[in-house]
Amino acid sequence: MAANRETVTRVKPANGCFIAVSACQAYLISGSEKGYRTRRFPLDNRYTGFLLVISRWFRHRFRLEVPSMPYSVSAPRLLGGRLSLDFVNETLPNAELSWERLVDFLESTKIVSAERGTQLLNLPQSDPQAAAALLWKARRLGSTLRKVFMAMLRKQRIAGEWVEPVNEILRITEGHDELIAQDDFWKIEFVAREGGLDWLLAAVARSGAETIAEGLHARLRICANPRCGLFFYDNSRTLRRRWCSMAVCGNRSKVAAFARKHGSARNPP
Protein backbone atom coordinates (compact mmCIF):
# COMPACT_ATOMS: atom_id res chain seq x y z
CA MET A 1 0.00 0.00 0.00
CA ALA A 2 2.88 2.37 0.70
CA ALA A 3 4.18 1.92 -2.83
CA ASN A 4 0.90 3.17 -4.30
CA ARG A 5 0.60 5.87 -1.66
CA GLU A 6 -3.05 5.14 -1.02
CA THR A 7 -4.86 6.03 2.16
CA VAL A 8 -7.86 3.96 3.26
CA THR A 9 -10.59 5.40 5.47
CA ARG A 10 -13.27 3.21 7.03
CA VAL A 11 -16.80 4.55 6.65
CA LYS A 12 -19.64 3.32 8.91
CA PRO A 13 -22.37 2.15 8.80
CA ALA A 14 -23.72 0.76 5.45
CA ASN A 15 -22.42 -2.77 6.08
CA GLY A 16 -18.80 -1.66 5.84
CA CYS A 17 -17.43 0.82 3.30
CA PHE A 18 -13.94 1.86 2.33
CA ILE A 19 -12.60 4.86 0.47
CA ALA A 20 -9.20 4.36 -1.20
CA VAL A 21 -7.55 7.57 -2.39
CA SER A 22 -4.52 7.55 -4.68
CA ALA A 23 -2.74 10.37 -6.49
CA CYS A 24 -5.25 10.59 -9.36
CA GLN A 25 -8.46 8.82 -8.40
CA ALA A 26 -10.60 7.60 -5.52
CA TYR A 27 -12.61 4.41 -5.09
CA LEU A 28 -15.63 3.90 -2.87
CA ILE A 29 -16.00 0.19 -2.09
CA SER A 30 -19.23 -0.66 -0.32
CA GLY A 31 -20.24 -4.09 0.89
CA SER A 32 -23.62 -5.68 1.52
CA GLU A 33 -25.26 -9.10 1.61
CA LYS A 34 -25.47 -9.03 -2.20
CA GLY A 35 -21.74 -8.47 -2.66
CA TYR A 36 -19.45 -5.49 -3.19
CA ARG A 37 -19.94 -2.38 -5.28
CA THR A 38 -17.13 -0.09 -6.44
CA ARG A 39 -17.48 3.51 -7.63
CA ARG A 40 -14.55 5.49 -9.06
CA PHE A 41 -14.07 9.27 -8.80
CA PRO A 42 -11.36 11.01 -10.89
CA LEU A 43 -9.37 13.58 -8.86
CA ASP A 44 -7.50 16.77 -9.69
CA ASN A 45 -5.16 15.96 -6.83
CA ARG A 46 -5.11 13.56 -3.91
CA TYR A 47 -5.91 16.00 -1.08
CA THR A 48 -8.79 17.98 -2.61
CA GLY A 49 -10.21 14.81 -4.11
CA PHE A 50 -10.22 13.14 -0.74
CA LEU A 51 -12.14 16.05 0.76
CA LEU A 52 -14.67 16.01 -2.07
CA VAL A 53 -15.36 12.31 -1.67
CA ILE A 54 -15.63 12.59 2.10
CA SER A 55 -18.00 15.58 1.94
CA ARG A 56 -20.22 13.83 -0.62
CA TRP A 57 -20.68 10.75 1.53
CA PHE A 58 -20.87 12.72 4.75
CA ARG A 59 -24.08 14.26 3.42
CA HIS A 60 -25.46 10.72 3.36
CA ARG A 61 -24.89 10.66 7.14
CA PHE A 62 -22.04 8.21 7.19
CA ARG A 63 -19.99 8.26 10.36
CA LEU A 64 -16.26 8.36 9.62
CA GLU A 65 -13.67 6.43 11.55
CA VAL A 66 -10.11 7.18 10.40
CA PRO A 67 -7.60 4.49 11.35
CA SER A 68 -4.03 5.23 12.38
CA MET A 69 -1.86 5.60 9.28
CA PRO A 70 1.93 5.75 8.89
CA TYR A 71 1.67 9.12 7.17
CA SER A 72 -0.88 11.85 6.62
CA VAL A 73 -3.18 12.03 3.62
CA SER A 74 -2.41 15.73 3.23
CA ALA A 75 0.38 16.93 0.98
CA PRO A 76 3.42 18.66 2.51
CA ARG A 77 2.59 22.17 3.76
CA LEU A 78 4.94 24.41 1.78
CA LEU A 79 4.35 27.62 3.73
CA GLY A 80 7.89 28.41 4.88
CA GLY A 81 9.00 30.51 1.94
CA ARG A 82 12.37 28.74 1.91
CA LEU A 83 13.18 25.14 1.15
CA SER A 84 14.97 24.51 4.45
CA LEU A 85 12.04 25.91 6.46
CA ASP A 86 9.56 23.74 4.56
CA PHE A 87 11.77 20.73 5.25
CA VAL A 88 11.92 21.47 8.99
CA ASN A 89 8.15 21.89 9.02
CA GLU A 90 7.87 18.34 7.65
CA THR A 91 10.18 16.90 10.32
CA LEU A 92 7.99 17.42 13.38
CA PRO A 93 9.78 17.17 16.76
CA ASN A 94 7.25 14.68 18.14
CA ALA A 95 7.19 12.34 15.11
CA GLU A 96 9.97 10.81 13.05
CA LEU A 97 10.09 11.57 9.34
CA SER A 98 8.92 8.53 7.37
CA TRP A 99 10.33 7.39 4.03
CA GLU A 100 7.00 8.03 2.29
CA ARG A 101 6.82 11.55 3.72
CA LEU A 102 10.38 12.29 2.62
CA VAL A 103 9.62 11.19 -0.94
CA ASP A 104 6.40 13.26 -0.93
CA PHE A 105 8.45 16.30 0.08
CA LEU A 106 11.04 15.73 -2.63
CA GLU A 107 8.27 15.48 -5.23
CA SER A 108 6.26 18.46 -3.95
CA THR A 109 9.33 20.72 -4.00
CA LYS A 110 10.30 19.51 -7.51
CA ILE A 111 13.62 18.10 -6.30
CA VAL A 112 12.63 14.87 -8.04
CA SER A 113 10.05 14.10 -10.71
CA ALA A 114 6.95 12.01 -10.03
CA GLU A 115 8.55 9.14 -11.95
CA ARG A 116 11.71 9.31 -9.84
CA GLY A 117 9.55 9.57 -6.73
CA THR A 118 7.84 6.30 -7.61
CA GLN A 119 11.24 4.65 -7.97
CA LEU A 120 12.35 6.02 -4.61
CA LEU A 121 9.24 4.68 -2.90
CA ASN A 122 10.37 1.17 -3.84
CA LEU A 123 13.95 1.72 -2.65
CA PRO A 124 13.40 0.30 0.89
CA GLN A 125 12.55 -3.02 -0.79
CA SER A 126 15.26 -2.99 -3.48
CA ASP A 127 18.09 -1.43 -1.42
CA PRO A 128 17.10 -1.18 2.26
CA GLN A 129 20.57 -0.10 3.42
CA ALA A 130 20.72 2.86 1.04
CA ALA A 131 17.19 3.95 1.96
CA ALA A 132 17.90 3.66 5.68
CA ALA A 133 21.12 5.68 5.35
CA LEU A 134 19.42 8.51 3.46
CA LEU A 135 16.46 8.59 5.85
CA TRP A 136 18.83 8.79 8.81
CA LYS A 137 20.66 11.73 7.23
CA ALA A 138 17.37 13.46 6.42
CA ARG A 139 16.14 13.10 10.00
CA ARG A 140 19.49 14.31 11.32
CA LEU A 141 19.47 17.31 8.98
CA GLY A 142 15.90 18.24 9.94
CA SER A 143 16.66 17.96 13.66
CA THR A 144 19.81 20.06 13.26
CA LEU A 145 18.10 22.82 11.31
CA ARG A 146 15.22 22.95 13.80
CA LYS A 147 17.67 23.29 16.68
CA VAL A 148 19.64 26.05 14.92
CA PHE A 149 16.54 27.96 13.78
CA MET A 150 15.10 27.93 17.31
CA ALA A 151 18.42 29.26 18.62
CA MET A 152 18.33 32.04 16.03
CA LEU A 153 14.79 33.02 17.06
CA ARG A 154 15.92 33.15 20.69
CA LYS A 155 19.08 35.05 19.70
CA GLN A 156 21.25 32.34 21.21
CA ARG A 157 24.77 31.43 20.17
CA ILE A 158 25.03 28.64 17.58
CA ALA A 159 27.69 26.10 18.46
CA GLY A 160 30.02 24.98 15.68
CA GLU A 161 29.19 21.30 16.11
CA TRP A 162 25.49 22.02 15.58
CA VAL A 163 25.98 22.83 11.89
CA GLU A 164 28.25 19.86 11.13
CA PRO A 165 25.40 17.78 9.59
CA VAL A 166 24.74 20.68 7.20
CA ASN A 167 28.41 21.00 6.24
CA GLU A 168 28.68 17.24 5.85
CA ILE A 169 26.07 17.23 3.09
CA LEU A 170 27.50 20.36 1.45
CA ARG A 171 30.98 18.80 1.31
CA ILE A 172 29.93 15.66 -0.52
CA THR A 173 27.58 17.17 -3.11
CA GLU A 174 28.28 19.14 -6.25
CA GLY A 175 26.01 21.36 -8.29
CA HIS A 176 25.39 24.83 -9.64
CA ASP A 177 23.18 27.87 -9.10
CA GLU A 178 20.29 28.72 -11.42
CA LEU A 179 17.98 31.71 -11.72
CA ILE A 180 14.40 30.58 -11.12
CA ALA A 181 11.31 32.73 -11.76
CA GLN A 182 8.94 32.92 -8.80
CA ASP A 183 5.82 35.10 -9.01
CA ASP A 184 7.04 38.61 -9.93
CA PHE A 185 10.71 38.22 -9.04
CA TRP A 186 13.73 36.01 -9.58
CA LYS A 187 15.64 33.93 -7.08
CA ILE A 188 18.80 31.85 -7.14
CA GLU A 189 18.36 28.14 -6.49
CA PHE A 190 21.00 25.49 -6.01
CA VAL A 191 20.65 22.53 -8.38
CA ALA A 192 22.58 19.48 -7.17
CA ARG A 193 24.38 17.14 -9.53
CA GLU A 194 22.97 13.64 -9.23
CA GLY A 195 25.31 11.15 -7.65
CA GLY A 196 24.47 8.57 -5.02
CA LEU A 197 21.53 9.65 -2.88
CA ASP A 198 22.96 12.46 -0.75
CA TRP A 199 22.34 14.96 -3.54
CA LEU A 200 18.62 14.70 -2.72
CA LEU A 201 19.30 16.67 0.47
CA ALA A 202 21.83 19.10 -1.01
CA ALA A 203 19.38 21.87 -1.90
CA VAL A 204 17.85 21.70 1.59
CA ALA A 205 21.29 21.93 3.21
CA ARG A 206 22.23 24.86 0.96
CA SER A 207 19.01 26.70 1.81
CA GLY A 208 19.60 26.11 5.52
CA ALA A 209 23.19 27.35 5.28
CA GLU A 210 22.06 30.56 3.58
CA THR A 211 19.49 31.24 6.30
CA ILE A 212 22.00 30.53 9.08
CA ALA A 213 24.58 32.80 7.43
CA GLU A 214 22.12 35.72 7.52
CA GLY A 215 22.35 35.66 11.30
CA LEU A 216 20.42 38.42 13.05
CA HIS A 217 19.34 39.81 9.67
CA ALA A 218 17.38 36.67 8.82
CA ARG A 219 13.64 37.22 8.61
CA LEU A 220 13.04 33.92 10.32
CA ARG A 221 9.73 33.62 12.17
CA ILE A 222 7.60 31.00 13.89
CA CYS A 223 3.80 30.98 13.69
CA ALA A 224 2.12 32.96 16.48
CA ASN A 225 -0.33 30.11 17.01
CA PRO A 226 1.20 28.22 19.98
CA ARG A 227 -0.39 24.97 18.73
CA CYS A 228 1.14 25.30 15.26
CA GLY A 229 4.92 25.74 15.48
CA LEU A 230 5.60 26.07 11.74
CA PHE A 231 8.57 28.17 10.64
CA PHE A 232 8.34 30.74 7.85
CA TYR A 233 10.46 33.45 6.22
CA ASP A 234 8.88 36.89 6.51
CA ASN A 235 8.82 38.46 3.05
CA SER A 236 6.04 40.90 3.91
CA ARG A 237 6.60 44.62 3.24
CA THR A 238 6.04 45.54 6.88
CA LEU A 239 8.06 42.59 8.25
CA ARG A 240 5.25 41.99 10.74
CA ARG A 241 3.84 38.74 9.47
CA ARG A 242 2.64 36.59 12.39
CA TRP A 243 1.03 33.51 10.88
CA CYS A 244 2.30 30.60 8.81
CA SER A 245 -0.85 31.07 6.74
CA MET A 246 -3.53 33.71 7.09
CA ALA A 247 -6.01 31.23 5.61
CA VAL A 248 -5.36 28.74 8.42
CA CYS A 249 -3.91 30.01 11.69
CA GLY A 250 -4.70 33.67 10.99
CA ASN A 251 -8.39 33.03 10.44
CA ARG A 252 -8.56 30.69 13.43
CA SER A 253 -7.17 33.45 15.62
CA LYS A 254 -9.72 35.92 14.28
CA VAL A 255 -12.58 33.51 14.91
CA ALA A 256 -11.35 32.81 18.45
CA ALA A 257 -10.99 36.53 19.19
CA PHE A 258 -14.48 37.21 17.82
CA ALA A 259 -15.94 34.43 19.97
CA ARG A 260 -14.20 35.73 23.09
CA LYS A 261 -15.35 39.28 22.44
CA HIS A 262 -18.98 38.42 21.84
CA GLY A 263 -19.02 35.79 24.56
CA SER A 264 -17.91 38.33 27.15
CA ALA A 265 -20.46 40.83 25.83
CA ARG A 266 -23.28 38.33 26.37
CA ASN A 267 -21.99 37.42 29.82
CA PRO A 268 -20.96 40.68 31.54
CA PRO A 269 -19.36 40.39 35.00
pLDDT in tens, 35-56: 556 565 555 555 555 555 555 4
Give the model's pLDDT for residue 237. 85
Give the model's pLDDT for residue 258. 55
Distance of CA 140 to the CA centre of its chain: 17
Q: Of the given ranges (47-56, 109-118, 199-208, 258-267), which has the lowest mean pLDDT?
A: 47-56
Which has more confidence, 12 or 224? 224
Together in a domain, 88 and 212: yes
pLDDT at 61 over 60: no
d(CA 80, CA 82): 5
Asked if residue 253 belongs to a domain, the reply is no
Count Cα atoms within 13 angstroms, Cβ side, for 243: 11
Asked if residue 87 belongs to a domain, the reply is yes
Together in a domain, 93 and 58: no
Together in a domain, 35 and 98: no
Give the model's pLDDT for residue 29. 59
**DSSP 8-state secondary structure symbol assigned to residue 220:** E
d(CA 128, CA 192): 23
**DSSP 8-state secondary structure symbol assigned to residue 45:** S
Query: Into how many domains does the chain fold?
Result: 2
Asked if residue 165 belongs to a domain, the reply is yes
d(CA 4, CA 260): 45
pLDDT at 10 over 50: no
Asked if residue 111 belongs to a domain, the reply is yes
Asked if residue 28 belongs to a domain, the reply is yes
CB 64 within 8 A of CB 9: yes
Together in a domain, 108 and 202: yes
Together in a domain, 180 and 89: yes
pLDDT in tens, 107-129: 999 999 999 999 999 999 999 99
How many other C-beta atoms are found inside a 10 Å radius of the C-beta of residue 241?
19
Together in a domain, 125 and 26: no
Together in a domain, 134 and 15: no
- H-helix or E-strand containing 202? helix 202-214
Together in a domain, 38 and 144: no
pLDDT at 69 over 60: no
Q: Which of 18, 34, 65 is the last residue of a domain?
A: 65
Give the model's pLDDT for residue 43. 54
How many other C-beta atoms are found inside a 10 Å radius of the C-beta of residue 172?
12
The residue range of the domain holding 40 is 7-65
User: How far from each other are the two terminal CA atoms of the chain, in whole angstroms?
Assistant: 57
d(CA 201, CA 192): 9
Give the model's pLDDT for residue 71. 36
Asked if residue 1 belongs to a domain, the reply is no
In the three-class reduction of DSSP (H, G, I as helix; E, B as strand; rest coil), residue 114 is classed as helix
**DSSP 8-state secondary structure symbol assigned to residue 15:** S
Together in a domain, 125 and 156: yes
Nearest CA-CA partner of 14 in 35, 30, 25: 30
Give the model's pLDDT for residue 25. 60
- H-helix or E-strand containing 251? helix 251-266
Asked if residue 73 belongs to a domain, the reply is no
Give the model's pLDDT for residue 136. 95
